[in-house]
Structure 1
């Protein structure tokens, strides 16, 4: 199986998880990103032979939409054990693009041997747009749930 054969398979786009995931983040505070590192198994036919392909994401590249990029071998972890994150410095509207690099191996039907595929394949996904906002804290006389004024209470 060649690299071109591998790249032509319907590998899934990576799953991109953001924390917080509420449509906005705070500037100068960590925006946590992670993805699912689970391998996928695909079936294909190559030159008349049935082939099982196991593809595993091994490297991820995050483009944060503000000119910053993070390339990592870690799929990331949720808060509080996170290791993949970004701090936006300026308010604005952003979207994060995640590219996963996949390695693979294959097994021809009837053979017990798994063979590595030379080369890699890439898949990409982009988050929905969100805003990075600057918020200030204020002392209030009562709970904001009772009287949500001012608007950022």
Structure 2
């Protein structure tokens, strides 16, 4: 886990200070990334990507003191494997969960221009807080979690309509 930035916090009543670097050895579970639909994408259509990163609390000891550390995802860096990249403040969501039809653009989707197999990677940035037993105290700075990756197969799709366009006949095969 990398440290993106950090300044110490110093609870005066505790008489000690902790930086985000002190928390870097506590690692949230590695997030996963999946592509919709089924890690297969179609050239020219949006593929939707979703990270599984979530808020996680880990017990530990820092500077000899027991505490709980809460890591909250605050940023997602998606690398789509074809040179395309996107940062987002959201992990993304499955199309069905947000009421969208497949191949609808989302905050975390990507459109591939060439067929092939690509490795999609997401790197999650976390904010940290500690609880010394009297409530959560935010730590200045952020931590970068381990990257998660998934292979996505990108294919070309061809359709043929025999009785007009989908706008003209929305019930036709392929619409």
TM-score (norm 2): 0.71
1:100 Cα offset (Å):
0.3
Structure 1 unaligned regions, length at least 5: 141-153
Q: Name the counterpart of 2:171.
A: none
Say how many residue pairs are matched.
Answer: 136
- Please list every run of at least 4 consecutive aligned residues from structure 1 whose deviation after the TM superposition is greater than 4 angstroms: none
Q: Name the counterpart of 1:126.
A: 149
- Cα RMSD for the two superposed structures: 1.8
The equivalences for 1:1-150 within 5 A come to 1-21=18-38, 23-79=39-95, 80-81=99-100, 82-108=106-132, 111-123=133-145, 124-127=147-150, 129-138=151-160
Structure 2 unaligned regions, length at least 5: 1-17, 101-105, 163-175
**SS of equivalent to 2:83:** coil
1:34-78 deviation per Cα after TM superposition (whole angstroms, max 9, x unaligned):
123521000111122111001000100100000010101012121
On the 8 A contact 2:71/2:128 being kept in 1, the answer is: yes
**SS of equivalent to 2:69:** strand
Mapped to 1, the partners of 2:119 and 2:53 lie a distance apart of: 21
TM-score (norm 1): 0.81
Mapped to 2, the partners of 1:64 and 1:14 lie a distance apart of: 16
Mapped to 1, the partners of 2:52 and 2:20 lie a distance apart of: 23
Mapped to 1, the partners of 2:124 and 2:114 lie a distance apart of: 27
